Protein backbone atom coordinates (compact mmCIF):
# COMPACT_ATOMS: atom_id res chain seq x y z
CA UNK A 1 0.00 0.00 0.00
CA UNK A 2 1.32 3.46 -0.92
CA UNK A 3 2.00 5.70 2.09
CA UNK A 4 0.62 9.23 1.80
CA UNK A 5 2.11 12.42 3.18
CA UNK A 6 0.08 13.86 6.05
CA UNK A 7 -1.12 17.37 5.04
CA UNK A 8 -0.84 18.42 8.70
CA UNK A 9 2.94 17.88 8.47
CA UNK A 10 3.25 20.33 5.57
CA UNK A 11 4.53 22.90 8.04
CA UNK A 12 7.63 24.21 9.82
CA UNK A 13 8.65 22.72 13.20
CA UNK A 14 9.53 25.05 16.07
CA UNK A 15 13.12 23.82 16.37
CA UNK A 16 15.23 23.15 13.27
CA UNK A 17 18.87 22.12 13.03
CA UNK A 18 19.07 19.64 10.15
CA UNK A 19 17.27 20.19 6.81
CA UNK A 20 17.28 17.53 4.09
CA UNK A 21 16.52 18.45 0.46
CA UNK A 22 15.13 15.89 -1.99
CA UNK A 23 16.09 16.80 -5.56
CA UNK A 24 18.94 19.02 -4.40
CA UNK A 25 20.75 19.23 -7.75
CA UNK A 26 18.06 21.28 -9.47
CA UNK A 27 18.98 24.91 -10.08
CA UNK A 28 16.51 26.36 -7.59
CA UNK A 29 16.93 23.53 -5.10
CA UNK A 30 20.71 23.91 -4.98
CA UNK A 31 20.25 27.64 -4.45
CA UNK A 32 17.91 27.03 -1.50
CA UNK A 33 20.45 24.54 -0.12
CA UNK A 34 23.20 27.14 -0.34
CA UNK A 35 21.05 29.84 1.26
CA UNK A 36 20.06 27.59 4.15
CA UNK A 37 23.68 26.52 4.67
CA UNK A 38 24.80 30.15 4.75
CA UNK A 39 22.01 30.81 7.26
CA UNK A 40 23.55 28.32 9.68
CA UNK A 41 21.55 25.13 9.16
CA UNK A 42 22.97 21.68 8.62
CA UNK A 43 21.93 20.74 5.08
CA UNK A 44 22.00 17.38 3.30
CA UNK A 45 20.45 16.37 0.01
CA UNK A 46 19.64 13.61 -2.43
CA UNK A 47 19.27 13.38 -6.19
CA UNK A 48 19.34 10.93 -9.09
CA UNK A 49 21.69 13.06 -11.18
CA UNK A 50 24.70 14.01 -9.08
CA UNK A 51 27.39 15.35 -11.41
CA UNK A 52 29.40 18.55 -12.09
CA UNK A 53 29.00 21.45 -12.00
CA UNK A 54 26.19 21.18 -9.44
CA UNK A 55 27.89 18.41 -7.46
CA UNK A 56 31.04 20.54 -7.22
CA UNK A 57 29.06 23.56 -6.04
CA UNK A 58 27.29 21.56 -3.33
CA UNK A 59 30.53 19.93 -2.18
CA UNK A 60 32.24 23.32 -1.91
CA UNK A 61 29.29 24.56 0.14
CA UNK A 62 29.74 21.66 2.56
CA UNK A 63 26.47 19.98 1.63
CA UNK A 64 26.52 16.17 1.64
CA UNK A 65 24.64 14.72 -1.34
CA UNK A 66 23.34 11.15 -1.48
CA UNK A 67 22.89 9.32 -4.79
CA UNK A 68 19.36 8.20 -5.61
CA UNK A 69 16.02 8.54 -3.88
CA UNK A 70 16.36 5.62 -1.46
CA UNK A 71 14.74 5.25 1.98
CA UNK A 72 18.11 5.13 3.72
CA UNK A 73 18.63 8.83 2.94
CA UNK A 74 16.31 9.67 5.84
CA UNK A 75 18.02 7.48 8.47
CA UNK A 76 19.47 10.61 10.14
CA UNK A 77 15.89 11.80 10.77
CA UNK A 78 16.21 15.46 9.73
CA UNK A 79 14.02 18.05 11.42
CA UNK A 80 12.56 19.20 8.10
CA UNK A 81 12.55 17.89 4.52
CA UNK A 82 12.25 20.14 1.46
CA UNK A 83 10.72 18.20 -1.43
CA UNK A 84 11.63 19.24 -4.95
CA UNK A 85 9.26 19.43 -7.91
CA UNK A 86 11.06 16.49 -9.53
CA UNK A 87 9.98 14.15 -6.72
CA UNK A 88 7.01 11.84 -7.27
CA UNK A 89 4.86 10.31 -4.53
CA UNK A 90 5.91 6.78 -5.55
CA UNK A 91 9.64 7.42 -5.06
CA UNK A 92 11.00 5.21 -2.21
CA UNK A 93 12.41 8.23 -0.37
CA UNK A 94 9.03 10.01 -0.53
CA UNK A 95 7.36 6.86 0.75
CA UNK A 96 9.79 6.70 3.67
CA UNK A 97 9.17 10.39 4.41
CA UNK A 98 5.46 9.61 4.79
CA UNK A 99 6.17 6.65 7.08
CA UNK A 100 8.46 8.65 9.36
CA UNK A 101 6.02 11.58 9.60
CA UNK A 102 8.76 14.20 9.27
CA UNK A 103 7.61 17.79 8.61
CA UNK A 104 8.06 18.80 4.98
CA UNK A 105 7.81 21.80 2.66
CA UNK A 106 8.11 22.45 -1.07
CA UNK A 107 10.94 24.67 -2.30
CA UNK A 108 8.65 27.71 -2.85
CA UNK A 109 7.14 27.26 0.61
CA UNK A 110 10.64 27.10 2.11
CA UNK A 111 11.70 30.26 0.29
CA UNK A 112 8.62 32.07 1.54
CA UNK A 113 9.12 30.96 5.15
CA UNK A 114 12.88 31.25 5.62
CA UNK A 115 13.79 34.19 3.38
CA UNK A 116 10.69 36.31 2.68
CA UNK A 117 8.83 36.11 6.00
CA UNK A 118 9.89 36.03 9.64
CA UNK A 119 10.18 38.78 12.22
CA UNK A 120 11.79 41.18 9.73
CA UNK A 121 10.16 40.27 6.40
CA UNK A 122 11.78 41.31 3.15
CA UNK A 123 9.95 43.25 0.48
CA UNK A 124 9.56 40.55 -2.13
CA UNK A 125 9.94 41.80 -5.71
CA UNK A 126 8.59 39.04 -7.94
CA UNK A 127 9.16 38.95 -11.71
CA UNK A 128 6.50 36.83 -13.41
CA UNK A 129 5.32 36.12 -16.94
CA UNK A 130 5.76 33.62 -19.76
CA UNK A 131 8.87 35.33 -21.14
CA UNK A 132 11.78 37.39 -19.85
CA UNK A 133 11.64 36.38 -16.18
CA UNK A 134 15.31 35.44 -15.81
CA UNK A 135 16.61 38.45 -17.74
CA UNK A 136 14.33 40.94 -16.00
CA UNK A 137 14.97 39.63 -12.48
CA UNK A 138 18.73 39.57 -13.16
CA UNK A 139 18.62 43.16 -14.43
CA UNK A 140 16.66 44.18 -11.34
CA UNK A 141 18.94 42.43 -8.85
CA UNK A 142 22.10 43.79 -10.50
CA UNK A 143 20.81 47.37 -10.77
CA UNK A 144 19.58 47.35 -7.14
CA UNK A 145 22.97 46.01 -6.05
CA UNK A 146 24.83 48.72 -7.98
CA UNK A 147 22.53 51.31 -6.39
CA UNK A 148 23.71 50.17 -2.95
CA UNK A 149 20.51 48.32 -1.92
CA UNK A 150 22.19 44.92 -1.26
CA UNK A 151 19.21 42.86 -2.42
CA UNK A 152 18.76 39.17 -1.86
CA UNK A 153 17.66 37.15 -4.87
CA UNK A 154 16.77 33.72 -6.23
CA UNK A 155 16.86 33.54 -10.02
CA UNK A 156 16.70 30.71 -12.55
CA UNK A 157 20.01 31.57 -14.23
CA UNK A 158 23.57 32.42 -13.25
CA UNK A 159 23.80 36.21 -12.90
CA UNK A 160 27.25 37.20 -14.17
CA UNK A 161 27.62 40.10 -11.71
CA UNK A 162 27.54 37.60 -8.83
CA UNK A 163 28.65 34.34 -10.46
CA UNK A 164 25.65 32.57 -8.91
CA UNK A 165 21.86 32.47 -9.00
CA UNK A 166 21.16 33.37 -5.36
CA UNK A 167 22.21 35.79 -2.64
CA UNK A 168 20.97 36.35 0.90
CA UNK A 169 21.45 40.13 0.76
CA UNK A 170 21.48 42.59 3.64
CA UNK A 171 18.93 45.09 2.35
CA UNK A 172 15.14 45.26 2.48
CA UNK A 173 14.49 43.86 -1.01
CA UNK A 174 14.48 40.26 -2.24
CA UNK A 175 14.16 39.63 -5.99
CA UNK A 176 12.45 36.38 -7.00
CA UNK A 177 11.95 34.89 -10.44
CA UNK A 178 8.29 33.90 -10.18
CA UNK A 179 7.58 30.70 -12.08
CA UNK A 180 3.98 29.73 -12.84
CA UNK A 181 4.87 26.02 -12.99
CA UNK A 182 3.37 23.86 -10.24
CA UNK A 183 4.99 23.58 -6.81
CA UNK A 184 5.21 19.90 -5.85
CA UNK A 185 3.29 16.63 -6.14
CA UNK A 186 1.45 17.46 -2.91
CA UNK A 187 0.85 21.14 -3.76
CA UNK A 188 -0.43 21.56 -7.32
CA UNK A 189 -0.47 25.36 -7.45
CA UNK A 190 1.89 27.77 -9.20
CA UNK A 191 5.18 28.39 -7.42
CA UNK A 192 4.77 32.17 -7.44
CA UNK A 193 1.73 31.91 -5.16
CA UNK A 194 4.17 31.21 -2.29
CA UNK A 195 6.44 34.22 -2.91
CA UNK A 196 4.53 36.90 -0.95
CA UNK A 197 4.85 39.66 -3.57
CA UNK A 198 5.11 43.19 -2.26
CA UNK A 199 5.75 44.42 -5.80
CA UNK A 200 5.65 42.47 -9.04
CA UNK A 201 6.57 42.76 -12.70
CA UNK A 202 4.35 40.98 -15.22
CA UNK A 203 6.06 40.71 -18.63
CA UNK A 204 3.71 38.58 -20.74
CA UNK A 205 1.17 35.78 -20.57
CA UNK A 206 0.84 33.05 -23.19
CA UNK A 207 -0.07 29.39 -23.21
CA UNK A 208 2.83 27.24 -22.02
CA UNK A 209 3.54 24.20 -19.83
CA UNK A 210 1.11 22.00 -21.72
CA UNK A 211 1.88 19.14 -19.33
CA UNK A 212 0.16 20.88 -16.38
CA UNK A 213 -2.12 23.58 -17.85
CA UNK A 214 -5.11 22.57 -19.96
CA UNK A 215 -5.42 25.90 -21.77
CA UNK A 216 -4.74 29.63 -21.54
CA UNK A 217 -7.74 30.17 -19.25
CA UNK A 218 -6.24 27.98 -16.52
CA UNK A 219 -2.98 29.90 -16.77
CA UNK A 220 -4.83 33.22 -16.53
CA UNK A 221 -6.63 32.02 -13.41
CA UNK A 222 -3.28 31.38 -11.73
CA UNK A 223 -2.01 34.85 -12.63
CA UNK A 224 -5.21 36.43 -11.29
CA UNK A 225 -4.53 34.72 -7.95
CA UNK A 226 -0.94 35.95 -8.06
CA UNK A 227 -1.69 39.65 -8.64
CA UNK A 228 -4.33 39.40 -5.93
CA UNK A 229 -1.54 38.82 -3.41
CA UNK A 230 0.05 42.26 -3.99
CA UNK A 231 -0.83 44.56 -1.06
CA UNK A 232 -2.31 48.05 -1.38
CA UNK A 233 1.07 49.65 -0.61
CA UNK A 234 2.80 47.59 -3.30
CA UNK A 235 2.63 47.89 -7.08
CA UNK A 236 2.17 45.80 -10.22
CA UNK A 237 4.38 46.81 -13.17
CA UNK A 238 2.54 45.34 -16.17
CA UNK A 239 3.38 45.20 -19.89
CA UNK A 240 -0.03 46.19 -21.18
CA UNK A 241 1.08 45.86 -24.80
CA UNK A 242 0.11 42.25 -24.11
CA UNK A 243 -3.72 42.15 -24.07
CA UNK A 244 -3.79 39.21 -21.64
CA UNK A 245 -1.51 41.06 -19.23
CA UNK A 246 -3.78 44.10 -19.53
CA UNK A 247 -6.78 41.90 -18.70
CA UNK A 248 -5.05 40.47 -15.62
CA UNK A 249 -3.82 43.92 -14.52
CA UNK A 250 -7.42 45.18 -14.57
CA UNK A 251 -8.19 42.60 -11.87
CA UNK A 252 -5.37 43.75 -9.57
CA UNK A 253 -6.51 45.77 -6.56
CA UNK A 254 -3.01 47.18 -5.96
CA UNK A 255 -1.71 50.18 -7.95
CA UNK A 256 -0.68 49.32 -11.53
CA UNK A 257 2.14 50.91 -13.55
CA UNK A 258 1.70 50.06 -17.23
CA UNK A 259 4.70 49.85 -19.55
CA UNK A 260 5.34 49.03 -23.19
CA UNK A 261 5.41 50.76 -26.56
CA UNK A 262 1.69 51.60 -26.70
CA UNK A 263 0.55 55.20 -26.49
CA UNK A 264 -1.57 54.52 -23.41
CA UNK A 265 1.30 53.09 -21.33
CA UNK A 266 2.50 55.22 -18.42
CA UNK A 267 6.06 54.08 -19.17
CA UNK A 268 7.00 53.98 -22.86
CA UNK A 269 9.99 52.56 -24.72
CA UNK A 270 11.04 54.86 -27.57
CA UNK A 271 13.94 55.42 -29.97
CA UNK A 272 15.40 51.91 -29.64
CA UNK A 273 18.66 51.49 -31.57
CA UNK A 274 20.81 48.35 -31.67
CA UNK A 275 24.54 48.10 -32.40
CA UNK A 276 26.02 44.64 -31.99
CA UNK A 277 25.02 43.23 -28.60
CA UNK A 278 24.16 46.66 -27.22
CA UNK A 279 21.05 48.87 -27.31
CA UNK A 280 20.18 52.46 -26.57
CA UNK A 281 16.66 53.69 -25.88
CA UNK A 282 14.66 56.45 -24.26
CA UNK A 283 12.28 55.84 -21.36
CA UNK A 284 9.26 58.12 -21.21
CA UNK A 285 7.16 58.49 -18.05
CA UNK A 286 3.67 59.96 -18.42
CA UNK A 287 4.59 61.30 -21.85
CA UNK A 288 7.78 63.09 -20.71
CA UNK A 289 11.38 61.96 -21.23
CA UNK A 290 12.57 60.29 -18.05
CA UNK A 291 16.09 59.33 -19.16
CA UNK A 292 18.09 57.82 -22.01
CA UNK A 293 19.62 54.42 -21.32
CA UNK A 294 22.28 52.07 -22.62
CA UNK A 295 21.81 48.33 -22.23
CA UNK A 296 24.46 45.73 -23.18
CA UNK A 297 21.80 43.48 -24.73
CA UNK A 298 20.08 43.72 -28.13
CA UNK A 299 16.42 43.54 -29.06
CA UNK A 300 13.05 45.11 -28.38
CA UNK A 301 12.18 42.46 -25.80
CA UNK A 302 15.28 43.29 -23.76
CA UNK A 303 14.50 46.98 -23.99
CA UNK A 304 11.05 46.27 -22.57
CA UNK A 305 12.54 44.09 -19.81
CA UNK A 306 14.81 46.98 -18.88
CA UNK A 307 11.90 49.44 -18.98
CA UNK A 308 10.02 47.31 -16.42
CA UNK A 309 13.05 47.47 -14.13
CA UNK A 310 13.27 51.24 -14.58
CA UNK A 311 9.60 51.70 -13.70
CA UNK A 312 9.84 49.55 -10.57
CA UNK A 313 13.09 51.07 -9.34
CA UNK A 314 11.68 54.56 -9.83
CA UNK A 315 8.64 53.52 -7.79
CA UNK A 316 11.00 52.26 -5.06
CA UNK A 317 12.65 55.69 -4.92
CA UNK A 318 15.96 54.83 -6.61
CA UNK A 319 17.72 57.79 -8.23
CA UNK A 320 17.43 57.74 -12.03
CA UNK A 321 21.17 58.11 -12.55
CA UNK A 322 21.76 55.10 -10.31
CA UNK A 323 19.24 53.15 -12.41
CA UNK A 324 21.00 54.26 -15.57
CA UNK A 325 24.43 53.22 -14.27
CA UNK A 326 23.12 49.86 -13.05
CA UNK A 327 21.62 48.92 -16.39
CA UNK A 328 24.63 50.13 -18.38
CA UNK A 329 26.97 47.95 -16.31
CA UNK A 330 24.88 44.77 -16.59
CA UNK A 331 27.15 41.82 -17.38
CA UNK A 332 24.40 39.49 -18.55
CA UNK A 333 23.17 36.02 -17.63
CA UNK A 334 24.55 32.69 -18.68
CA UNK A 335 22.61 31.15 -21.58
CA UNK A 336 20.89 34.37 -22.63
CA UNK A 337 22.43 35.55 -25.93
CA UNK A 338 25.77 34.50 -24.46
CA UNK A 339 28.79 34.41 -26.76
CA UNK A 340 30.43 31.06 -26.04
CA UNK A 341 33.40 31.70 -28.33
CA UNK A 342 34.66 32.79 -31.71
CA UNK A 343 36.91 30.79 -34.02
CA UNK A 344 38.11 31.89 -37.46
CA UNK A 345 35.54 34.70 -37.51
CA UNK A 346 32.63 32.35 -36.63
CA UNK A 347 30.69 33.42 -33.53
CA UNK A 348 28.88 30.78 -31.45
CA UNK A 349 25.92 32.00 -29.35
CA UNK A 350 24.06 30.14 -26.60
CA UNK A 351 20.46 31.07 -25.78
CA UNK A 352 17.73 29.55 -23.62
CA UNK A 353 14.85 30.43 -26.01
CA UNK A 354 12.37 27.59 -26.52
CA UNK A 355 8.80 28.98 -26.59
CA UNK A 356 7.95 30.17 -30.15
CA UNK A 357 7.57 33.80 -29.01
CA UNK A 358 10.97 33.71 -27.31
CA UNK A 359 12.50 32.10 -30.40
CA UNK A 360 11.03 34.83 -32.62
CA UNK A 361 12.25 37.68 -30.38
CA UNK A 362 15.71 36.14 -30.05
CA UNK A 363 16.14 35.65 -33.81
CA UNK A 364 15.00 39.22 -34.46
CA UNK A 365 17.37 40.58 -31.80
CA UNK A 366 20.32 38.69 -33.29
CA UNK A 367 19.36 39.92 -36.75
CA UNK A 368 19.44 43.50 -35.44
CA UNK A 369 22.75 42.87 -33.73
CA UNK A 370 24.45 41.49 -36.85
CA UNK A 371 22.49 42.74 -39.88
CA UNK A 372 25.30 41.99 -42.35
CA UNK A 373 26.37 38.55 -41.14
CA UNK A 374 24.94 35.17 -42.06
CA UNK A 375 22.77 33.94 -39.18
CA UNK A 376 22.41 30.20 -38.63
CA UNK A 377 19.90 29.07 -35.99
CA UNK A 378 20.20 25.63 -34.39
CA UNK A 379 17.02 24.72 -32.50
CA UNK A 380 16.35 21.85 -30.10
CA UNK A 381 12.65 21.33 -29.23
CA UNK A 382 13.15 19.89 -25.75
CA UNK A 383 10.43 21.09 -23.36
CA UNK A 384 7.22 19.21 -22.81
CA UNK A 385 5.32 21.93 -24.65
CA UNK A 386 7.75 22.34 -27.57
CA UNK A 387 7.57 18.61 -28.31
CA UNK A 388 3.79 18.84 -28.78
CA UNK A 389 2.01 19.85 -31.97
CA UNK A 390 0.22 22.64 -30.08
CA UNK A 391 2.96 25.11 -31.15
CA UNK A 392 3.72 23.64 -34.61
CA UNK A 393 2.30 26.56 -36.63
CA UNK A 394 3.71 29.18 -34.26
CA UNK A 395 7.23 27.80 -34.67
CA UNK A 396 6.79 28.00 -38.42
CA UNK A 397 6.49 31.80 -38.04
CA UNK A 398 9.28 32.20 -35.46
CA UNK A 399 12.45 32.07 -37.57
CA UNK A 400 12.04 35.11 -39.84
CA UNK A 401 15.43 36.79 -40.17
CA UNK A 402 17.47 33.59 -40.06
CA UNK A 403 19.57 32.69 -43.07
CA UNK A 404 19.46 28.98 -42.26
CA UNK A 405 17.71 26.85 -39.63
CA UNK A 406 18.82 23.47 -38.30
CA UNK A 407 16.27 21.55 -36.19
CA UNK A 408 16.96 18.51 -34.07
CA UNK A 409 14.43 15.68 -34.06
CA UNK A 410 12.47 15.52 -30.82
CA UNK A 411 12.79 12.81 -28.22
CA UNK A 412 9.21 11.46 -28.39
CA UNK A 413 6.92 12.07 -25.44
CA UNK A 414 5.70 8.95 -23.72
CA UNK A 415 1.93 8.51 -23.57
CA UNK A 416 1.30 11.24 -26.17
CA UNK A 417 -0.04 10.07 -29.57
CA UNK A 418 2.37 10.59 -32.47
CA UNK A 419 -0.15 12.82 -34.26
CA UNK A 420 -0.10 15.20 -31.27
CA UNK A 421 3.69 15.56 -31.20
CA UNK A 422 5.84 18.24 -32.83
CA UNK A 423 7.38 17.45 -36.22
CA UNK A 424 10.86 18.77 -36.98
CA UNK A 425 10.44 17.56 -40.57
CA UNK A 426 7.25 19.60 -40.98
CA UNK A 427 8.94 22.70 -39.54
CA UNK A 428 11.86 22.41 -41.97
CA UNK A 429 9.46 22.00 -44.92
CA UNK A 430 7.38 25.01 -43.84
CA UNK A 431 10.49 27.19 -43.52
CA UNK A 432 11.65 26.11 -47.01
CA UNK A 433 8.33 27.29 -48.40
CA UNK A 434 9.04 30.71 -46.83
CA UNK A 435 12.43 30.85 -48.55
CA UNK A 436 14.44 30.02 -45.41
CA UNK A 437 16.84 27.10 -45.99
CA UNK A 438 16.16 24.53 -43.29
CA UNK A 439 16.94 20.93 -42.43
CA UNK A 440 16.18 18.50 -39.60
CA UNK A 441 18.63 16.06 -38.03
CA UNK A 442 18.30 12.92 -35.93
CA UNK A 443 20.89 13.94 -33.34
CA UNK A 444 23.62 16.36 -32.28
CA UNK A 445 26.35 14.44 -34.13
CA UNK A 446 24.57 14.96 -37.45
CA UNK A 447 24.11 18.67 -36.76
CA UNK A 448 27.81 19.10 -35.96
CA UNK A 449 28.80 17.26 -39.13
CA UNK A 450 26.61 19.58 -41.20
CA UNK A 451 27.94 22.71 -39.51
CA UNK A 452 31.53 21.54 -39.95
CA UNK A 453 30.97 21.47 -43.70
CA UNK A 454 28.79 24.56 -44.08
CA UNK A 455 29.95 27.35 -41.75
CA UNK A 456 32.35 29.97 -42.99
CA UNK A 457 34.14 33.05 -41.56
CA UNK A 458 31.67 35.80 -40.63
CA UNK A 459 28.85 33.42 -39.69
CA UNK A 460 26.89 33.70 -36.44
CA UNK A 461 25.69 30.33 -35.15
CA UNK A 462 23.00 30.69 -32.47
CA UNK A 463 22.04 27.55 -30.56
CA UNK A 464 18.59 27.67 -28.95
CA UNK A 465 17.66 25.14 -26.28
CA UNK A 466 16.55 25.08 -22.66
CA UNK A 467 18.84 22.10 -22.00
CA UNK A 468 22.49 21.14 -22.29
CA UNK A 469 22.04 19.96 -25.92
CA UNK A 470 24.90 17.43 -25.54
CA UNK A 471 27.29 20.33 -24.91
CA UNK A 472 27.00 21.18 -28.60
CA UNK A 473 28.50 24.65 -28.11
CA UNK A 474 31.84 23.33 -26.83
CA UNK A 475 31.83 20.53 -29.39
CA UNK A 476 31.28 23.01 -32.24
CA UNK A 477 34.02 25.35 -31.03
CA UNK A 478 36.44 22.42 -30.71
CA UNK A 479 35.56 21.29 -34.23
CA UNK A 480 36.12 24.78 -35.62
CA UNK A 481 39.50 25.04 -33.87
CA UNK A 482 40.54 21.70 -35.29
CA UNK A 483 39.59 22.82 -38.79
CA UNK A 484 41.43 26.12 -38.32
CA UNK A 485 44.62 24.31 -37.25
CA UNK A 486 44.47 22.06 -40.31
CA UNK A 487 44.28 25.11 -42.56
CA UNK A 488 47.38 26.70 -41.04
For 412-434, what is each residue's pLDDT tens digit?
888 888 888 888 889 999 999 99
- Looking at domain 338-487, what is its CATH homologous superfamily? Mur ligase, C-terminal domain (3.90.190.20)
Q: What is the mean pLDDT of residues 260-282?
A: 92
Q: What is the mean pLDDT of residues 399-409?
A: 92
**Least confident stretch, 121-135, 341-355, 424-438:** 341-355
Q: Is the pLDDT of residue 1 over 60?
A: no
CB of 362 closer than 8 Å to CB of 369: no
What pLDDT digit, counting tens, does each position of 249-269 carry? 999 999 999 999 999 999 999
Tell me the β-bridge partners of 44: 20, 64
Q: Is the pLDDT of residue 355 over 60?
A: yes
Mean pLDDT, all residues of the chain: 90
Q: What is the pLDDT of residue 21?
A: 97
Question: Residue 326: how many CB atoms within 10 A of its CB?
Answer: 25
- The kind and range of the H/E element at 475 are helix 472-487
User: Cα angle vertex 236, ends 235, 238, to 5°?
Assistant: 150
CA distance 232 to 237: 14
CB of 156 closer than 8 Å to CB of 134: yes
Q: What is the pLDDT of residue 335?
A: 65
- Is it true that 7-106 and 122-328 share their CATH fold? no
Q: What is the pLDDT of residue 316?
A: 97
CA distance 307 to 293: 9
Model pTM?
A: 0.79
CB of 447 closer than 8 Å to CB of 406: yes
The topology under which CATH files domain 122-328 is 3.40.1190
- Burial label, 317 (beta-carbon count in 10 A; 0-12, 13-18, 19+): exposed
CB of 259 closer than 8 Å to CB of 239: yes
Q: Is the pLDDT of residue 136 over 90?
A: yes
CB of 379 closer than 8 Å to CB of 464: yes
Read off the pLDDT band of 2 (50, 70, 90). low
Q: What is the mean pLDDT of residues 140-163?
A: 90
**Least confident stretch, 41-50, 180-189, 411-420, 440-449:** 411-420
What pLDDT digit, counting tens, does each position of 63-92 carry? 999 999 999 999 999 999 999 999 999 999
Distances (CA, A) of 413 to 75, 113, 317, 417, 418: 36, 36, 49, 8, 8
Q: Is the pLDDT of residue 307 over 70?
A: yes
**Least confident stretch, 23-27, 219-223, 397-401, 479-483:** 479-483
Task: Delimit the domains of the chain by residue range.
Answer: 7-106, 122-328, 338-487
The topology under which CATH files domain 7-106 is Rossmann fold (3.40.50)
Read off the pLDDT band of 210 (50, 70, 90). low
**Least confident stretch, 53-57, 60-64, 76-80, 125-129:** 53-57
3-state secondary structure (DSSP) of residue 231: coil
CA distance 390 to 396: 12
Amino acid sequence: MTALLDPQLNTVPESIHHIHIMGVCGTGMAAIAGMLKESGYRVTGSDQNVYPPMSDFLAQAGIEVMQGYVPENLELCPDLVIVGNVIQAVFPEAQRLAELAIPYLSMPQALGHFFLGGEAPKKSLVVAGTHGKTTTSSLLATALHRAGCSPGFLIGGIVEAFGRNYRLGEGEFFVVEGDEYDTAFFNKVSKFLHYRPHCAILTSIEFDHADIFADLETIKASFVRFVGLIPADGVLVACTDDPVVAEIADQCSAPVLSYGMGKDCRWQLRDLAVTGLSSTFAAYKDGLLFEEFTLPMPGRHNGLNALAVIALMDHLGIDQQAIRAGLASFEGIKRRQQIRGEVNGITVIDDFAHHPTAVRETVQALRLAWPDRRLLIVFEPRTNSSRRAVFQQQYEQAFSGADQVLVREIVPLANVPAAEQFSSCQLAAALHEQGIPAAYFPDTTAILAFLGEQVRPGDVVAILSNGGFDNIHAQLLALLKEQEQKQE
